[in-house]
Amino acid sequence: MKRFKATLLAILFMIPLLYACSEGTDVVESGTYQGTVDEVEPEKTEIYVETQDNKRLELYFNENTSLTRNGETVAFDQLEKGQQVEVEVEKVGQRLEPIAVRIME
């Protein structure tokens, strides 16, 4: 019972921290941007990129998105959090279509 009580209280105090984890995203004009990979979601082939001017871009890869490193095409699993990338995006409505993602390191 004591362990259950401690666990319950620990969860209770940890939950408020979860509120800080929910971050929004930004929409930018079509163009090329440099930034850092903030999050990778392999099952959705999706990445979040934090640009140099603190915009958070949510990019869902599609069949036309090219992913390269040193000019060579690489697989999606080469993307990791913290990598420097250059992304070329096209704004369609308020959606950002990633045309090209280049890993800079």
CB of 100 to another protein, least distance (A): 17
User: Alpha-carbon distance 49 to 67, whole Å?
Assistant: 14
Residue type, 102: R
Please select the residue that binds another protein; options are 3, 29, 44, 54, rule is CB under 8 A.
44
Based on the shown chain and the rule CB under 8 A, indicate whether residue 48 belongs to the binding site for another protein. Answer: no
Based on the shown chain and the rule CB under 8 A, indicate whether residue 54 belongs to the binding site for another protein. Answer: no
Please select the residue that binds another protein; options are 28, 34, 36, 60, rule is CB under 8 A.
60
Q: Which is nearer to another protein, 60 or 69 (CB)?
A: 60
DSSP string, 28-64: --SEEEEEEEEEEEGGGTEEEEEETTS-EEEEE--TT
User: Alpha-carbon distance 51 to 35, whole Å?
Assistant: 4
Contacts of 74 (CB under 8 A, 6+ apart): 67, 68, 103
Look up tokens 């990019």; give the residue. 59
CB of 75 to another protein, least distance (A): 18
Binding site for another protein (CB under 8 A): 4-5, 8-9, 11-12, 15-16, 18-19, 21-25, 27, 41, 43-44, 46, 58, 60, 62, 92-95
